[in-house]
């Protein structure tokens, strides 16, 4: 029986319809269960504070909610009962089933619309924390590798054409710095998420004198989604903004995977991985395929398609809740795990990367230093355009002599001066802006009853 069903007779609702509208909800919803309990604890504490629950009811409810959290959810014993629509209903059902009438009191001043929003926000907050940690460790590895290989030169390309000298120090560090801009987006997504929607109910607030600041404080949100219409309008929008930030991280991995697929090819042959990390072919015995990076590239490209998918779902919908938002959950909830796995596998692979040291010896890289020669002429007094014409003519007439010694780049961010410390400092500063301790503090206070 659904919590919105009005009498017993109506509930022989078509089963096929039910399955269709519930979709994959029940399984995915388990991801939200701990957050639903926490949101509910905060909500009932607030209800008691405004006199809609007495203290005894509150104690009974909190005791049971904490039990569900600690002894059912944390121990993986929490499940959706047959015919229960979603995790919100399941928890309300358990309370009513176990505690009787008092369980029926908890939905005052709340709708499933703001309840699912709170759940999503607490879920996102926790998931972003995990993403940030894994990104930071990946970032750290990139900088380590950059330092380790800072003296190994490689060709730099533009237009897929051999252009100028680059180095593995530069290459690894470039992707580290890329993660900083991505992290700025993650931080913004976190801040946009980290606002309290509770009290917006179905999107138009409640006639109860709810204390929204109290739930904001209990749940550790940075602020309120004040306007109740906007709180609900954030549905779909929040998911889009969060996936845009995840997609930015994903694109950094995807691009680096693309580089690696090229560098692993025999035509580049810049790097390699041990045999046990590459894949063979069912017909070509000599192949060592970079499958892991192709899979990462494709998965990350797919992640990058999510914001557009969400946009197609919500485009041109007027304000107010629409059931369409539920469908967004089906791909949104698992995306964090997908991305975390990509980072973790990528890190595992990079721990085994083998960098070739004598790449530039090959004849085809002989013009790599032509700009350096131009620059030397400039330092001898040529104007830049004259020097450029001279070297171009030399190359054409095959009189060009490559230059491989006395090569030095010294300015910030160049081969000889990677500024990895500055890059590390930028990231650290950014990471410190996330107030992740609040997540644990909220759990300790609401679930374990510790004082703040």
Among 15, 75, 286, 432, the residue binding a second copy under the rule CB under 8 A is 286
Pairing of strands 153-158, 161-167: antiparallel
Q: Is 196 helix (H, G, I), strand (E, B) or coil?
A: strand
Strands (E), 26-160: 153-158
Q: Is 321 in the site for a second copy (CB under 8 A)?
A: yes
State the nearest-atom distance from the C-beta of 339 to a second copy, in Å: 13
Count of residues in the chain: 452
CB 436: neighbour CB atoms within 10 A? 16
Query: In terms of CB distance, is 77 or 209 closer to a second copy?
Result: 209
Span 114-153, contacts to a second copy by CB under 8 A = none
Q: Answer whether 349's CB lies under 8 Å from 277's CB.
A: yes
Residue with tokens 């999510």: 306
Query: In terms of CB distance, is 7 or 358 closer to a second copy?
Result: 7
Q: Which span sits near a second copy by CB under 8 A: 128-136, 325-333, 431-439, 442-450? A: 325-333
List of residues 6+ apart from 403 with CB closer than 8 A: 369, 372, 373, 376
State the nearest-atom distance from the C-beta of 276 to a second copy, in Å: 5
Q: Answer whether 268's CB lies under 8 Å from 262's CB.
A: yes
Query: In terms of CB distance, is 43 or 445 closer to a second copy?
Result: 43
Q: Is 272 in the site for a second copy (CB under 8 A)?
A: no
Span 50-89, contacts to a second copy by CB under 8 A = 52, 88
Q: Is 309 in the site for a second copy (CB under 8 A)?
A: yes
Q: Answer whether 88's CB lies under 8 Å from 115's CB.
A: yes
Among 15, 55, 101, 398, the residue binding a second copy under the rule CB under 8 A is 101
Q: Which span sits near a second copy by CB under 8 A: 29-37, 58-66, 303-311, 443-451? A: 303-311
Among 48, 370, 427, 445, the residue binding a second copy under the rule CB under 8 A is 370
CB 226: neighbour CB atoms within 10 A? 12
Nearest by Cα to 90 from 108, 65, 60:
65
Query: In terms of CB distance, is 224 or 447 closer to a second copy?
Result: 224
Among 1, 30, 152, 378, the residue binding a second copy under the rule CB under 8 A is 378
Strands (E), 292-394: 354-355
Distance CA(400)–CA(171), nearest Å, equals: 28
State the nearest-atom distance from the C-beta of 445 to a second copy, in Å: 22
Residue with tokens 């530039």: 360
State the nearest-atom distance from the C-beta of 309 to a second copy, in Å: 4
State the nearest-atom distance from the C-beta of 27 to a second copy, in Å: 14
Span 212-231, contacts to a second copy by CB under 8 A = 212-213, 223-231
Among 55, 77, 82, 312, the residue binding a second copy under the rule CB under 8 A is 312
Q: Answer whether 95's CB lies under 8 Å from 65's CB.
A: yes
State the nearest-atom distance from the C-beta of 78 to a second copy, in Å: 21
Among 77, 161, 397, 432, the residue binding a second copy under the rule CB under 8 A is 161
Q: Is 162 in the site for a second copy (CB under 8 A)?
A: yes
Q: Is 28 in the site for a second copy (CB under 8 A)?
A: no
Among 137, 311, 351, 440, the residue binding a second copy under the rule CB under 8 A is 311
Distance CA(412)–CA(397), nearest Å, equals: 35
Q: Which residues of 253-266 are buried (b: 16+ CB within 10 A; e: fewer)?
A: bbebbbbbbebbee
Strands (E), 173-234: 195-196, 223-224
Query: In terms of CB distance, is 74 or 229 closer to a second copy?
Result: 229
State the nearest-atom distance from the C-beta of 34 to a second copy, in Å: 21
Among 356, 404, 409, 441, the residue binding a second copy under the rule CB under 8 A is 409
Among 66, 129, 302, 441, the residue binding a second copy under the rule CB under 8 A is 302
Q: Is 296 helix (H, G, I), strand (E, B) or coil?
A: helix
State the nearest-atom distance from the C-beta of 440 to a second copy, in Å: 25
Q: Answer whether 2's CB lies under 8 Å from 11's CB.
A: yes
Strands (E), 57-136: none
Q: Which tokens belong to 378?
A: 């400039």
Residue with tokens 């593995």: 168
State the nearest-atom distance from the C-beta of 327 to a second copy, in Å: 4
């Amino acid at each position: 029986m659904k919590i919105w069903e009005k009498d017993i007779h109506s509930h022989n609702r078509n089963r096929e319809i039910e399955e269709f509208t519930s979709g994959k909800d029940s399984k995915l919803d388990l991801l939200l269960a701990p957050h639903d309990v926490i949101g509910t604890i905060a909500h009932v504490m607030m209800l008691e504070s405004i006199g809609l629950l007495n203290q005894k009811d509150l104690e009974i409810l909190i005791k049971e909610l904490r039990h569900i959290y600690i002894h059912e959810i944390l121990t993986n014993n929490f499940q959706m009962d047959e015919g229960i629509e979603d995790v919100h209903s399941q928890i309300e059902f358990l309370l009513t089933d176990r505690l009787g009438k008092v369980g029926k009191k908890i939905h005052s001043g709340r709708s499933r619309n703001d309840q699912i929003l709170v759940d999503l926000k607490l879920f996102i907050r926790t998931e972003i924390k995990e993403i940030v940690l894994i990104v930071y460790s990946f970032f750290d590895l990139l900088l380590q590798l950059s330092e380790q290989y800072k003296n190994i030169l490689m060709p730099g390309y533009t237009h897929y054409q051999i252009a100028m000298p680059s180095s593995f120090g530069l290459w690894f560090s470039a992707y580290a710095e890329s993660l900083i801009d991505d992290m700025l987006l993650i931080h913004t997504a976190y801040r946009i998420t980290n606002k309290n929607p509770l009290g917006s109910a179905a999107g138009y607030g409640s006639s109860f004198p709810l204390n929204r600041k109290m739930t904001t404080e209990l749940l550790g949100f940075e602020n309120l989604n004040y306007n109740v219409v906007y709180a609900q309008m954030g549905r779909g929008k929040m998911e889009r903004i969060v996936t845009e930030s995840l997609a930015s991280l994903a694109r950094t991995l995807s691009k680096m995977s693309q580089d690696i697929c090229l560098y692993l090819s025999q035509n580049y042959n810049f790097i390699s991985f041990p045999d046990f990390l590459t894949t063979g072919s069912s017909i070509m015995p000599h192949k060592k395929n970079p499958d892991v990076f192709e899979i990462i590239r494709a998965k990350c490209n797919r992640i990058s398609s999510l914001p557009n998918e969400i946009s197609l779902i919500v485009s041109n919908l007027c304000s107010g809740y629409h059931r369409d938002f539920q469908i967004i959950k089906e791909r949104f909830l698992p995306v964090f795990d997908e991305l975390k796995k990509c980072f973790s596998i990528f890190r595992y692979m990079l721990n085994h990367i083998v960098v070739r040291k004598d790449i530039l010896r090959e004849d085809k890289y002989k013009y790599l230093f032509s700009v350096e020669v131009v620059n030397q002429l400039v330092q001898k007094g040529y104007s830049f355009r004259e020097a450029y014409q001279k070297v171009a003519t030399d190359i054409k007439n095959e009189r060009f002599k490559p230059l491989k010694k006395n090569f030095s780049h010294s300015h910030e961010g160049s081969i000889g001066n990677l500024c990895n410390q500055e890059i590390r400092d930028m990231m650290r500063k950014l990471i410190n802006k996330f107030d992740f301790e609040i997540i644990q503090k909220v759990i300790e206070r609401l679930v374990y009853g510790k004082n703040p």
